[in-house]
Amino acid sequence: MHIDSIDAFDSVYRRGHEQVVFCADRPTGLRAVIALYSTALGPGLGGTRFHPYPSTAAAVADVLDLSQAMAYKNALAGLDHGGGKAVIIGDPDRDKSEPLLLAYGRFVESLAGRYVTACDVGTSVADMDVIARESRWVTGRSEADGGAGDSSVLTALGVVQGMRAAAQARWGTPSLAGRLVGIAGVGKVGRAVTPLLLEDDAEVVVTDVDPAAVAALRRRHPAVRVAETTDKLLAEPLDVYSPCALGGALTQAVIGTLNSGSIICGGANNQLAEPSCADAMLARGILYCPDYCVNAGGVIQVADELHGFSFPRARARAEKIFDTTLEVLRVADREGISPSVAADRLAERRMAEVSGLRRIHLP
């Protein structure tokens, strides 16, 4: 697989990443990239994505985006971690194997704690248990293996806490009762968001490219309505739109279809198709909750695992996403900027202030 090394280095220099590591193991077929955006606040923490990228260049572009987003997410969540991410190139259904995961674990271990991995799209708790056989720097493991298990529960809790904060800012109450919420993607997070919304007496309509996922959700929650496509979901009079699938869901076209005065708050990473989409939402009066602010529940959980996991402690911290989101929205309103810019500024301020303490040498 060909990659232009000059372009790769230019991307790293331009974005300001500390380190990018290519991991290749011919016997197992492993082709992976680990990116560390910043370790100013501590070891880079972020999941491993297993995805059939069309090219190495596409994989590098994604891991650079994801690792930078993790730095901002961890900073805004108040964690003592920098931003890191990894991608494994391949089809997880076809290419994933025990030897490949073990080889990958050795590469993670070789970074000596600068990078701590966890689950992401295409990887599971069971995969983390395998990787952990070769590396100490693995979170998101099963409870049987000393870990915290599936992190989607607290990710979903954080997303709903973000919605409640946005409701408070927009409608003067944190309740979602009677509000129509559209969820695009009912995988791990979207599936877990649904019952929390129903408990708050919201009306929920969902869509997903996987009919089996929708059918499974409907069996558990028959009150949920189904839209055949994302376009049909967006045509609903949504109060809240919740993108919970892959990134890039918020395009100019999508923003143009949503009601003025609505809220966007979802679990997907890197939701903005382009930076200008943040300004487009601001201009249309759509209240956007930055993705890395509201979907931090999962990383809060796996970070807690490094200190001897306590679910009540991690849940309490994830519930504070309500306060963080409200602060982001208040700063945005006060300064006349988009919530995306407000979140970035708050995260950057913490990275600058805390990393400055490194000037005080500790033995």
User: Catalytic residues, which ones?
Assistant: 85
DSSP characters over 73-114 = HHHHTT-S-EEEEEEEES-HHHH--HHHHHHHHHHHHHTTTS
How far is residue 1 CA from its own chain's centroid?
A: 28
Q: What is the dihedral of CA 304, 307, 310, 311, to 10 degrees?
A: 20
The CA distance from 162 to 324, in Å, is 8
Phi, psi torsion values for 264, nearest 5 degrees: -115, 125
In terms of DSSP H, where are the helices of 320-360? 321-335, 339-355
The CA distance from 163 to 184, in Å, is 15
The CA distance from 206 to 36, in Å, is 35
One-letter identity of residue 238? L
